[in-house]
Amino acid sequence: MEYRYWRDRDNQVPCVLQALKTIESADANSAKWYRKHLEKLRKYSYLDLVKHKVIKKLKGKNPWKIHELRFFLPRKIARTFFVVARDSSIWLLHLIIKKKDQTPKKDIQIAEQRAMELNDEISYL
Amino acid sequence: MKINNKIKNRIKERLDDMKVDIGLQILELRILKNITQEKLAALIGTQQPGIARAERGVVTPSITFLNKIATVLDTELIPPKFAAVEENEMNYKNKSVLSSRSTPTKFYSSLTVISNTNYHLSSALIQKESILTLKT
């Protein structure tokens, strides 16, 4: 798997890395663990990770085919929304740390909008 | 005896780190061996949530638990190490190699080093030293 980072037009820093920086300022440990998870799970194929529920496709109407990476950091749960391109590279769109069981709709909408913009640039669907 | 609060916090932090590390290890092993949590639990003789908890880093799994997983999935468990002891061993190995280099270029000089520290040297290291003697 190859990771690619989505960045907004105004920003030069990718969205996910920016979110990681804000996490790092509050809690350096979990940011470190997030990076380690990304590195270690790169070795395995998409299907393997789906089978073992590291990757999950979002439920319901999902026109942009958004998936999520499920990482368990110390006392925190991180979710990363992403999209799989045609060359099987992974576009990381949005990163959150969960505070409730349910993922907030707001964050899913952000991911959807970014996926829409990405689809305009490279039609991955 | 009460433990100092600072030390308590440090212990907690390190333990959190280790829990996540061990959890990742279990997950990776499961992916490699292509086995589900339920099947693994059945093999060990526990239930699925126990393995899920260990994987997420909620609990600190015991060494007996990890050993069970390793034996069931045909691997070996590498026992935990103290960093200080490991560093000491590495230093010792490096020193023994360096000392053989610094000694005068005679055949017996390096051979004597080997005979003195015979137990500690692995076979690979002995080969290295023999190559060194050939070069000199």
Task: Identify whether B78 is part of a domain.
Answer: no
Same domain, B64 and B91: no
pLDDT score at B95: 81
Helix (H) or strand (E) holding B77: none
Same domain, B42 and B90: no
Sequence-ordered alpha helix ranges (H) in B1-136: 5-33, 37-44, 48-56, 63-72, 83-102, 107-116, 123-135
Same domain, B66 and B96: no
Contact A40/B at CB under 8 A: yes
Q: Residue B53 is part of which domain span?
A: 5-72
Same domain, B61 and B87: no
Question: Average pLDDT in the A29-58 region?
Answer: 90
Q: pLDDT tens digits, residue range A72-88?
A: 888 889 999 999 988 88
How do strand A67-73 and strand A76-84 relate by DSSP bridges?
antiparallel
pLDDT above 90 (res B41): yes
Q: Are the Cβ atoms of A72 and B56 closer than 8 angstroms?
A: yes
At A125, which amino acid appears?
L
The DSSP output letter for A65 is -
pLDDT score at B67: 94
Task: Identify whether B100 is part of a domain.
Answer: yes
Give this prediction's pTM. Answer: 0.76
pLDDT above 80 (res B122): no
Same domain, B45 and B96: no
Nearest to B71 by CA among B33, B17, B109: B33
- For A17, the 3-state DSSP assignment is helix
Tell me how far apart the alpha carbons of residues A15 and A79 are, in angstroms, rounded to a whole number.
Answer: 14
Same domain, B62 and B13: yes
pLDDT score at B128: 60
Tell me how far apart the alpha carbons of residues A37 and B24 are, in angstroms, rounded to a whole number.
Answer: 8
Of B22, B40, B72, which one is at a domain's C-terminal end?
A: B72
B64 falls in which pLDDT band (50, 70, 90)? very high
Domain ranges of chain A: 2-121
Same domain, B90 and B115: yes
Phi, psi of A70 (to 5 degrees): -110, 105
Task: Identify whether B77 is part of a domain.
Answer: no
Task: Identify whether B44 is part of a domain.
Answer: yes
What ipTM did this prediction achieve? 0.85
Same domain, B65 and B40: yes
Contact B23/A at CB under 8 A: yes
Among the partner residues A51, A54, A75, nearest to B16 by beta-carbon distance = A75
Contact A52/B at CB under 8 A: yes
Tell me how far apart the alpha carbons of residues A77 and A101 are, in angstroms, rounded to a whole number.
Answer: 10
Same domain, B88 and B123: yes
pLDDT above 60 (res B77): yes
A68 falls in which pLDDT band (50, 70, 90)? very high
The total of structural domains in chain B comes to 2
Same domain, B90 and B56: no
How close A123 gets to chain B, by Cα (Å)?
31
